[in-house]
Structure 1
Amino acid sequence: MKPLQRPARRALLVVHVAVSVSWLGLSLGLLALGITAYATADPSLTAASYRAMKVFADWLLVPVSLTALGSGLVLSLGTPWGLARHRWVWIKFWITLATAAATVFALRPEIAHAAAVGVPDASLVAAPSVSASAYLFMTAVSMLKPWGLTRRGHRLRLHRTGSGKALDERSSIPSA
Structure 2
Amino acid sequence: MTTTTHHRHRRERPRTLPAGIRRTALTVRAISSVGLLGEVRVLAVLTTVAARTDDIEFARAAYRLLTVRTFAGDIPLSMTALVTGLVLALGARWGLPRYVWVFAKLVLLVAATVLSVHKPRWRLPPRP
TM-score by length of 1: 0.59
% identical aligned pairs: 34
1:63-82 equivalences under 5 Å are: 63-82=76-95
- Contact 1:37–1:50 (CA<8 Å) still a contact in 2? yes
Distance 1:89 1:81 in 2: 10
Deviations for 1:120-143, whole angstroms, at most 9, x for unmatched residues?
Answer: xxxxxxxxxxxxxxxxxxxxxxxx
Separation in structure 2 between the aligned mates of residue 69 and residue 46 of structure 1, nearest angstrom: 32
Q: Where does structure 1 differ by over 2 angstroms across 4 or more consecutive aligned residues?
A: none
The answer for the alignment partner of 2:35 in structure 1 is 22
Q: Is the 8 A contact 2:15 2:93 kept in 1?
A: no
For residues 65 and 86 of structure 2, the distance between their equivalents in structure 1, rounded to whole angstroms, comes to 31
Question: Which has the larger helix fraction?
Answer: 1
Larger Rg: 2
State the secondary structure of the residue aligned to 1:23: helix
Instruction: Report what 2:47 is aligned to.
Output: 34
Contact 1:69 1:96 in 2 (8 A): yes
Matched, 1:84 2:97: yes
Shift of 1:118: 3.7
Shift, 1:58, TM fit:
2.5
Unaligned runs of 5+ in 2: 1-13
Report the number of matched residues. 112
Which amino acid counterpart does residue 39 of structure 1 have in structure 2?
A: R
Cα distance in structure 2, aligned partners of 1:58 and 1:99: 13
- Larger mean CA deviation between 61-70 and 7-16 belongs to 61-70
Q: Corresponding residue for 2:7?
A: none
| Structure with greater contact order relative to length (CA < 8 Å, sep ≥ 6) | 2
CA-atom RMSD in angstroms: 1.6
2: CA distance, partners of 1:81 / 1:93: 15
